């Protein structure tokens, strides 16, 4: 008969693998719900901040893990879900850039363009008025 130590050496790693696999499926369901909320709200005219707050709150509250989901990870989860199932989220791909600091509205992008034109036309000096969220604007 196998000793208790041998039985534990075999059973504990198996139990650990089963427990580790469970949160992956829960995270997948949470990200689907988060993506549905984000894409639905954006397609109905809500701006990025409101839509992301709603989807992030849903992802945080319904996650079964020990650790809290960060906003950055929630954005990645939403993006992965939309990219994996683009047919389920029609026209949502155009909003994914906003999750990572892209322009959030037409008003702000036209205002930024106007200020860039004004700044570039004035004596060639470098502009000190830049948007911190616009990392790649030169």
pLDDT for the residue 62? 86
Give the burial string for 69-95 (b: 16+ CB within 10 Å, else e): beeebbbebbbebbeeeeeebeebeeb
**What pLDDT does 6 receive?**
78
Confidence (pLDDT) at 31? 85
Quick one: pLDDT at residue 14? 66
Would you state the pLDDT for residue 18? Answer: 56
> What's residue 27's pLDDT?
57
Mean pLDDT by 10 residues, the chain (138 residues): 71 63 58 94 95 95 84 94 93 93 54 44 47 49
Helix axis angle, 48-62 relative to 71-84, nearest 10°? 100
pLDDT of residue 9: 72
Please state, in angstroms and rounded to a whole number, the distance separating the CA atoms of residues 19 and 65.
11
The predicted structure's pLDDT at residue 19: 54
């Amino acid at each position: 008969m196998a000793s208790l130590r041998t039985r534990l050496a075999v059973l504990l790693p198996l139990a650990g693998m089963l427990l580790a696999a469970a949160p992956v499926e829960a995270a997948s369901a949470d990200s689907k719900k988060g993506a549905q909320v984000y894409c639905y709200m954006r397609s109905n005219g809500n701006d990025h901040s409101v839509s992301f707050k709603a989807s992030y709150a849903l992802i945080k509250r319904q996650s079964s893990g020990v650790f809290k989901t960060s906003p950055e990870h929630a954005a990645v989860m939403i993006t992965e879900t939309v990219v994996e199932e683009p047919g389920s989220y029609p026209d949502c791909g155009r909003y994914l850039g906003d999750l990572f600091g892209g322009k959030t509205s037409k008003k702000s992008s036209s205002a930024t363009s106007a200020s860039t034109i004004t700044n570039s036309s004035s004596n060639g000096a470098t502009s000190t008025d830049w948007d911190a969220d616009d990392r790649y604007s030169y």
